Structure 1
Amino acid sequence: MSSELLREALTLDRYPRSNTYDQQWVVDNLMGPHPLWSAESLLQAMPLRPGMRVLDLGCGTALTSIFLARECDVDVWATDLWVDPTENWQRVQDAGVAGRVHPIRSDARKLPFAQGFFDAVVSVGAYNYFGTGVDYLPYLADFVRPNGMLGIIAPGIRTAPDFTPPPYVADRWGPDLCTWLPPDWWRHLWERTGLVTVETADFVPNGWADWLLWLQTCAKVGRGYEPDEHLLEADQGNLLGLTRVVARLK
């Protein structure tokens, strides 16, 4: 697929900011659902102001960090355990945001930051891997100033997490998918701490369809992930999608 055809396939009116980026660059650095679409969906419910200090937790290849720095004029600490921060630093420099994005290698449970340092925390496609315990939000909130914001996008389901997976899901439903949770589950988990007010807990509009389009397009250039593609095709948006949760510290 040519770069022009790739751009056409991944240009959607509902993501005007993402449309301005080189889609080949996004594909070359992919990890999970389209990171810029997810970040743009999060910004629709979580406006960031210029000059904010933002923790991008589980940033992967730092594409979301670069996007936030460019689009919102914020300073971003691009934090990930698995991706080499030197590689992320090269991407940051190439993107022209070396003064705004600061790559860090850290475990999400051993963060090296000062209390109250951040104005906001975002996590795109990662929070479900480390944040499902009742103790995690209180830990994370300690790094955010009062009235600061927390926002996540993560794979999710539309039903209670103790459901019996339908046949088309059962073969794929392993331990990793057990962290795909519904918006209300996250709302309850966060609000029971008494530390935050949840302002948004919903499914990203068109999240299932956009995720499937992304996987199908990546497959055409040899970068797909068949297990998730087949799962989403079988589901037809009945059960699966992308959960969005935004909260403000009290």
Structure 2
Amino acid sequence: MNKNALFTDNYDISFLLETMMGPNAMRIVEEMANMLPISPDMRILDLGCGTGISSILLAEKYDVTVFAADLWISPTENAQRFSRLGLDSKIILLQVDATKEIPFAHEYFDMIISVDAYQYFGGNQAMLPKLLPFVKTGGLIAVAIPGFIQDYPEGQLPEEAQPFWAPDWYFYSCNWWKALWEKEPGITITMLREMDACQQAWDEYLQSPSWHAQKMIPIMQAGAGKYFNIIQIVGRKVS
């Protein structure tokens, strides 16, 4: 398959709408993956995979072996979904709490990817040194996380966002994430940018029947979305 093909645009939208847990993770991971050196037979950890639509893209489009790890979505539920798509041999399922012991061998993965999940467990200095041992030297950690287009001091959020804001959004800016990752000497940032797919990924999610998506509609209608971005940050393990 052409690496630059619009895989997500041709995917069953009804399936995606039923499985999205946030802005369309398949669209986000496709844009991110198109900028990463992914080759067949790599081992990639999809950390915080949710319902696995990011894992599906990696397995189908790139022919890699994906370790789909999540805390909240059971491996049994995801196994049924992947089996219906004929991906049993390409996606290995695990239930993992990234804040606790991580059950993998050191130097095992070519890459760790996380889409719309890392902000929940990775906004601290402890997470990168915890993950790095599981990546091969020279391998990458690549995350895509919803955030804000700039830093907003506490209590000074944009007016449109103030009525809806909750601390468990964990929205930060590119500069905030850059400063955090630069504290870890074992990784070098190779890419940090706002992703082009942000608006479309959110628009697609708002079509989902899930109550989580429906809850976001008044937030977007109020105009808070114009302050949102999706941040892509990629780091290479150097030691």
TM over 0.5: yes
User: How is 1:1-250 mapped onto 2 (pairs within 5 angstroms)?
Assistant: 16-109=6-99, 110-162=101-153, 164-177=156-169, 179-207=170-198, 209-218=199-208, 221=209, 225-235=213-223, 238-250=226-238
Gaps (5+ residues) in structure 1? 1-13
In the alignment, the residues of structure 2 paired with residue 23 and residue 46 of structure 1 have an alpha-carbon distance, to the nearest angstrom, of 25
Paired with 1:130 and 1:15, the residues of 2 have a C-alpha distance of: 32
Cα RMSD of the aligned pairs, angstroms, is: 1.9
CA 1:185–1:139 in structure 2 vs 1: closer, same or farther (change >3 Å)? same
Shift, 1:124, TM fit: 0.6
1:157–1:48 Cα change, 3 Å:
same
Q: Please list the CA deviations of residues 175-201 of structure 1 after superposition, one character each: whole Å capped at 9, or x if unmatched.
A: 112x11112221221122111111111
Distance 1:238 1:216 in 2: 15
Which residue does 1:9 correspond to in 2?
none
In structure 2, do the counterparts of structure 1 residues 228 and 125 end up closer, same or farther at CA, with 3 Å as the change threshold?
same
Given the superposition, is the C-alpha separation of residues 211 and 21 from structure 1 closer, same or farther in structure 2, using an over 3 Å criterion?
Answer: closer
Identity, % of aligned positions: 30
Contact 2:146 2:228 (8 Å CA) reproduced:
yes
**In the superposition, relative to structure 1, how do residues 195 and 231 fare at CA in structure 2: closer, same or farther (>3 Å)?**
same
Q: Which amino acid aligns with 2:192?
A: A
- Distance in 2 between residues matched to 1:223 and 1:15, nearest whole Å: 32
Aligned to 1:88, the other structure's residue is in SS state helix
| Structure 2 segments unaligned to the other structure (5+ residues) | none
Matched-pair contact (CA < 8 Å) for 2:66–2:90:
yes
Alignment partners' CA distance in 2, 1:142 and 1:132: 18
| AA aligned opposite 1:67 | L
Distance 2:223 2:42 in 1: 39
Shift of 1:230: 2.5
